[in-house]
């Protein structure tokens, strides 16, 4: 009796798996029909494009494993390290350009500013020579005495 129930359960599982497989095949065949039409229209567009003159991108050399602009870039820079160095270099050039343009605009602003007014030479008064501190060269004993007083040292 148990053996019979296992056979029945196994048959039901097999039947449900067969139904799911049949549904999957039907769904795949329905999905493939538009794709076939799409590929057919793409092939027709490709034939029409072949009749037209090649564009700028079509004339450039390309890496066979890539498409579009990346194919052209990968033709000249096949390694990822080379691409990262090129990106860093591009960023560096942009930063240097912006720094230089900001410096030149600052220089233009400084040149446009009016010149500062300096006092005349005759108006400048010379400061008097400080006579309170003895010279260490001329009189070392007086200098030592001056420095030894705490009030003379700031």
Name the token pair of 143: 């200098």
Tell me: the pLDDT tens digits for 104-125?
888 888 888 787 788 777 777 7
Count of helices and strands (H, E) across the chain = 5, 0
CA distance 61 to 43: 23
Tell me: the pLDDT tens digits for 32-71?
665 555 555 566 666 665 566 777 777 788 888 888 888 8
């Amino acid at each position: 009796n148990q053996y019979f129930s296992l056979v029945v359960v196994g048959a039901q599982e097999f039947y449900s798996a067969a139904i799911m497989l049949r549904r999957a095949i039907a769904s795949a065949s329905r999905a493939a029909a538009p794709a076939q039409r799409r590929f057919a229209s793409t092939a027709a567009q490709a034939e029409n494009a072949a009749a037209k003159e090649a564009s700028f991108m079509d004339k450039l050399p390309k890496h066979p494993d890539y498409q579009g602009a990346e194919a052209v870039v990968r033709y000249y820079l096949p390694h990822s390290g080379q691409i990262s160095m090129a990106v860093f270099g591009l960023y560096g050039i942009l930063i240097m350009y912006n720094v230089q343009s900001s410096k030149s605009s600052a220089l233009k602003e400084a040149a446009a500013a009016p010149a500062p007014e300096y006092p005349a030479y005759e108006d400048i008064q010379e400061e008097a020579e400080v006579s309170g501190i003895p010279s260490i060269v001329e009189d070392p004993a007086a200098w030592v005495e001056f420095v030894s007083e705490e009030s003379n040292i700031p």
